[in-house]
Structure 1
Amino acid sequence: MNCDDVPFAIHKPCKMAILPHIDPNDNDIPKRADLKKFSNLTHHFLLPSPSMPDERFTDALIYICRHSTDGAWGFMINKPLNASVGGLLHELDLPASQKAMNTPAMHGGFIRPEAGFVIHTGLPEFASSFAVGENVCITTSKDVLSLISGDSLPHFLLCMGFCNWTAGQLEREISEQDWLVCPADLEMLFRAKFEDRVMLAYDKLGINPDKFTLATGFA
């Protein structure tokens, strides 16, 4: 993606473009649809089963922020990048506190890795923002960055890129026992150490992955 394709690009050699406007007609991002005919996994975690065939996800914990009959999308929440949140703020000519400089941005997924999305607590009160679950929102507009810059957003993840599933793809992968599913919680989403998150999700399901016998993806 060229930097000029998003409203908050960095007009240098294209390093990272943060917080693009989400085009509702964009085929990469599923739209809401009738959710009555299947289990909705919005505000759930996906964790890989021991049989996960895609090595990119063998130790990933994914937060599903939208799921419908048109597909699903979410973010890996345990893959910190070498880039800090403060460093990305500086690239956008915004001030950054020491806390922001010490907070890593997350590798959210392999689609649009140059684009940023902020998962945070609170209300969807920004220019481009929507609620995922109780007290959890996704914001993609630049106005949220002023709160991050001023340490006024207590719980957040800045994810670069996202994960996407087409219609029926996630359900098929779960039925093939690639993924396990558990309800999301704020402790794991915002406060747990990144390196502990997969095991905490297994513990939440009462599963020892070393002794796990495949039966079903839903728990």
Structure 2
Amino acid sequence: MNQALLKLNHHFLIPTPQLQDDRFVDTLVYICRHTKEGAWGFVVNQPLPNSVGALLADLDLPVSQQMMNTPAVDGGPVRIEAGFVLHTGQPDFKSSFVIAENVCLTTSKDILQHLAFGELSHYLLCMGHCSWSKGQLEAEVYAGDWYICPADLPTLFLTPFADRLAACYAKMGIKPERLAANLGYA
């Protein structure tokens, strides 16, 4: 397969048993941007003990009870102090870009006011992110470290965190209990 043809925007990555990075065990990674310069995305199935409401309250923004019950997400090991908002809708904020139809990423603080007033129906507040340098993700995929699954809005925003990985396995027809830790080549 030609590595130049691999485009992973708006796809999920699932680590295979052979991936040698403990930070990604049982994770589901959503890829937001994949170019010839590298890739980045977010772990979307690892809720944090901190709620969205608690994080917004720390910024003196109003919060609802629903936000106090909505966990922020451990988005990945890079810049864990930074918040990123994956959301449905349009890129109407200062620093937003479109990932796929009806999915955007916003990194500017102006979105937080909209979160505080309940103006976004589907969102994930991710603390930290995942990134790969030029050619790194392609090499990992071709080495067999990741399964690739097309992303969908229900899995990204509506499926309970604990069920997201299983939903992708089911979508791909994979039975995780049958996976082997090592690949063989003939």
Q: TM-score, normalised by structure 2?
A: 0.93
Give the 3-state SS of the residue equivalent to 1:89 in structure 2.
helix
Indicate yes or no: 2:48 matched with 1:109: no
How far residue 38 of structure 1 moved from its aligned partner, in angstroms, is 2.2
Q: Does 2:159 correspond to 1:192? A: yes
Structure 1 gaps, min length 5: 1-35
What SS is found at the alignment partner of 2:79?
Answer: strand
**Equivalent position to 1:72, from 31, 39, 51:** 39
In structure 2, the gaps of 5 or more residues are: none
Higher relative strand content: 2
| Corresponding residue number in structure 2 for 1:155 | 122
1:203 aligns with 2:170: yes
In structure 2, which of residues 131, 135, 160 is the aligned counterpart of residue 168 of structure 1?
135
Contact 2:6 2:138 in 1 (8 A): no
Mapped partners of 1:102, 1:76: distance in 2 = 20
Question: Within the alignment, does 1:62 sit opposite 2:29 as a pair?
Answer: yes
CA RMSD of aligned residues (A): 1.5
Q: Could you say which residue in structure 1 is the equivalent of 2:61? A: 94
| Amino acid in structure 2 at the alignment position of 1:197 | R
1: CA distance between counterparts of 2:84 and 2:78? 12
- Among all aligned residue pairs of Structure 1 and Structure 2, give the percentage whose two residues are the same amino acid: 55
> 1:19-38, aligned counterparts within 5 Å?
37-38=4-5
Paired AA for residue 101 in structure 2? E
* Greater fraction helix: 2
- Letter aligned with residue 177 of structure 1: G
SS across alignment from 1:51 = coil
Shift of 1:39: 1.7
What is the number of residues matched between the two proteins?
A: 181
Alpha-carbon distance in 2 for matches of 1:202, 1:95 = 38
Aligned to 1:120: 87
| Structure 1 residue 141: Cα displacement | 1.1
What is the DSSP-based 3-state SS (H/G/I as helix, E as strand, rest coil) of the residue aligned with 2:63? coil
Q: TM-score, normalised by structure 1?
A: 0.80
Could you give the per-residue CA deviations for residues 146-185 of structure 1, whole angstroms, max 9, x where no partner exists? 1111111000000000000001100111111110001100
